[in-house]
Amino acid sequence: MKVLVVGGAGYIGSHCVRQLQAAGHEPVVLDNLVFGHRAAVHPSIPFYDCDLGDSEAVAEILRKEQIELVMHFAAFAYVGESVTEPRKYYENNFVATLRLLETMLDNGVTKFVFSSTCATYGEPATLPMVETLPQAPINPYGQTKLDVENCLKAFAHAYGLSFAAFRYFNAAGAAEDGSIGEDHNPETHLIPLVIDAATGRRENIQIFGTDYPTPDGTCLRDYVHVDDLSRAHIAVFDKLKEPGAAYFYNLGTGTPNSVREIITAVETVTGLKVPVVESERRAGDPPALYADSSKAQQELGWEIQYTEIEDIIATAWKWHQANPEGFGV
């Protein structure tokens, strides 16, 4: 299938491009390189440097490349910034996505796979988190993703759009061969930050809160390998053949790890000591967030290949060792 990957030069998008190729599909990448890296996409893959909200440019790409399905990973995703600059988040995450959907429909492309987030749930009343939990985002980032989800439901009903929305937990790791991996600026994800502290690229790692009602007092999160995430997206393609199909799936391992466990695992994998500073809790950090992904496993045949946190971290470490400066751009 000819697939347009919007945000295909970003962290998750670039890994999905590789998985698409491995599954026999033909990816085409659209990315404005605000956060993505041109080097994350193989030169043999058609690449378009433009904005997803540029309807004229996107329409031309859809026609020229004969696109059959669109996967959408492009979003601003810094939660704190979404609170201080919500206009930016609504414009990019919602308004530009609406333009993308309109352009798709105007050009006869009706299959859509959306990168959503567990942030649409807000602070869950029960754990593990299932798809039927109430959605009550506590920040504009989560709200913009939920707004898109609601838009997709309306478009499926009115226009026959077929879609799947995947609510991620904590994407982690890197390609097994170490060729691509995680390179954000600024970096906010825990595993690369801990690796940077281990290698001396940063002074230490801060633990925000050691008195949570968890086994070791630090926050619990669900880390899922980026390639496992990617494979789930591709597994849903067959379910989108029916006009108006609408699917929502959580993607996580269901086995949470604490901040302290991540630090210990990085020390085990790297053989290096991680300097730690204990700090007060951060506002808005729930004690625990982890998924029930049984729906994706049962309906899509999705199998989690990376079930151990050390194995996930080992792939990240391989990437960081080979590329200490990331993509160098």
Q: Which residues are catalytic?
A: 141
- C-alpha R_g of the chain: 19
Select from 113, 172, 119, 124 the least CA-distant residue to 147. 119
Give me the DSSP letters along 215-264.
TTSS-EE-EEEHHHHHHHHHHTGGGG-STT-EEEEEES-S--EEHHHHHH
For the record, the structure tokens of 42 come out as: 């193989």
Question: How far lies 291's CA from each of 70, 77, 130, 224, 297, in Å?
Answer: 26, 19, 7, 10, 12
The pair of three-digit structure tokens given for residue 153, joined into one six-digit string = 């439901």
Cα dihedral across residues 48, 21, 187, 81: positive or negative: positive
Number of residues that make up the chain = 329
Residue ranges of alpha helices (H) inside the chain are 11-22, 55-65, 79-84, 86-89, 96-106, 140-159, 190-199, 226-235, 259-270, 294-300, 309-322
